[in-house]
Amino acid sequence: MVKKTENMALEETRSVLHDLEIQKKSIKKQLECGIINSVDASQEEENIMTKERKLKKQLVSAVHVTKDGQPRKIEYKDSKGLYMTILPDKKKIYGKTEEILIDKLFDYYGLAISDVSIAGVFELALAEKQTTQNVNPETIKRDRQTFNRFIISDFGARDIREISKVELRAYTQEMVQRIHPIETAFKAYKGILNLIFAYALEYGIIKENPVPFVKNAVYLKGCERTKAKAENKILSKEEIDLVTKTVRSRMTQNRYHGYFILGYAILLSVETGMRVGELCALKWDDVKADGIHIHAQQLMYKENGRNYYYVDWTKDEKGFSQGGRRFPITIEIRNLLSEIKSVQDSLGIKSEYVFCNREGRWIYTKAYSDCLRALCRSLGFQVTNNHAFRMSLNSNVFIPLGIPVTERARLLGHSVETNEKYYSYARKNSMQDICALLNGQAV
């Protein structure tokens, strides 16, 4: 088998072969979509196959050797009309062509895939996803976190070819009983299973995909499906008012020197329900006469520190811009934006971004979230994240005003199902309001 000293070169060659396989699939998809014609596709495939044959021969030559390191002969036998060579166990192996024989040796020495464990195939599938799909680094990071949370090391080390649908169902049942994940977390686990086993099926590692036999309905009964109480998700109108008053008070403190820009971002979030990344990426050019054009976000990729970058699509558009959404500019919002611009002009701050530091650089999502968390904790709130503003706007303002769910979903940038299932809570103190109405009192 392969010596340790040869592993690095062999792994590099395997990696190139894997990339060539991805290229072949890409060409096939391009042909199906009409991006390239059949002649060009055939030529590209032939070029790739030529490279594959050369690389496979190199790999086989590196390991198909005698004990003293000499290459084992591959010769044509006229008597049989076949190519033949002798394996390390003295057995003879034949192929109708030299290429077929090389393929057999390739499989014999286990060169196609170095690791067929569940964890190993996950790494290959994740690498392909990163290479071929338009995903941001945070998505890859979340996939890895989901795998590490739900796939214990012993199960991850199992040979994927030995996993039956019964075993996968049994493992899933044990996991649900052990962790009791919420519904969305369980579905993320299923997504990772689909990623792994679909890849294994596509590349011929397994003959059947067992994941479709893991039915959600069976296991969701064991998941945590209790809807969170309103007080753990949203803020009351009074709490929102307290946040606003606290921000306004801090703007006068000497430590901010007249420019508490993170506070201004909090105030706009209260009014619009914009996501953190959307606030940080908001440009003055996005402020139109008829509304705020919300079409971009700031993303963060953590590798040797934090790297922030701008993308021209929002979270719900999932990597492909669909024009974003517009939020109407109310009198309150117009006055707030005018105030921000006036303060920046008075301080000589120039930037394309609405929320920037004194040097004109955009604020970072982490800085905003840290500021908001500290502020909410200082007020004694259980809820300390920006998401609460989105839910509070929906439950405290949109629903009482009778705004249709389709419009609520459009304004917040998500689906109707998401709005109804995850964003619509009874307002805090709503029972007192109901009691007052039943008593014939105005609310």
**Span 53-75, pLDDT tens digits:** 898 888 888 889 988 889 999 99
- pLDDT grade, residue 204 (50/70/90)? confident
Mean pLDDT of the chain, nearest integer: 88
338 compared with 20, residue with greater pLDDT: 338
Q: What is the pLDDT of residues 103-138, one digit of tens each?
A: 888 888 777 666 789 999 999 899 888 877 878 788
Architecture of domain 231-431: Orthogonal Bundle (1.10)
- At residue 34, the pLDDT reads 86
Domains 118-220 and 231-431 share a fold: no
Least confident of 37-51, 56-70, 295-309: 295-309
Q: What is the pLDDT of residues 349-396, one digit of tens each?
A: 999 999 999 999 999 999 999 999 999 999 999 889 999 999 999 989
- At residue 16, the pLDDT reads 78
Q: Which residue has the tokens 């090389």?
A: 102
Measured CA to CA, the distance from residue 319 to residue 309 in angstroms comes to 14
Tokens representing 377 are 């904790």
- At residue 162, the pLDDT reads 87
Q: Residue 439 above 80 pLDDT?
A: no
**pTM, full prediction:** 0.60
**Single-letter code of the amino acid located at 298:** Q
Fold of 118-220: DNA polymerase; domain 1 (1.10.150)
- At residue 202, the pLDDT reads 84
Tokens representing 180 are 């009791």
- At residue 441, the pLDDT reads 58
- At residue 4, the pLDDT reads 41
Every domain of the chain and the residues it spans:
4-108, 118-220, 231-431
- At residue 2, the pLDDT reads 43
Tokens representing 30 are 């391009």
User: Residues 6 or more apart from 220 whose CB is under 8 A from it?
Assistant: 183, 186
Q: What is the pLDDT of residues 225-241, one digit of tens each?
A: 776 565 567 899 999 99
- At residue 420, the pLDDT reads 80
Q: Residue 1 above 50 pLDDT?
A: no
> What per-residue string of b and e applies to 225-242 under the rule 16 or more CB within 10 Å gives b?
eeeeebeebbbbeebbeb
- pLDDT grade, residue 287 (50/70/90)? very high
Q: Residue 435 above 80 pLDDT?
A: no
Q: Tell which phi-psi region holds residue 253, choosing left (phi > 0), alpha (psi between -120 and 50) or beta.
A: beta
Tokens representing 330 are 């109310």
Average pLDDT over residues 324-330: 95
Q: Could you tell me what percent of the chain has a pLDDT over 70?
A: 89
Q: What is the pLDDT of residues 401-423, one digit of tens each?
A: 999 999 999 999 998 888 887 67
- pLDDT grade, residue 213 (50/70/90)? very high
Measured CA to CA, the distance from residue 210 to residue 169 in angstroms comes to 9
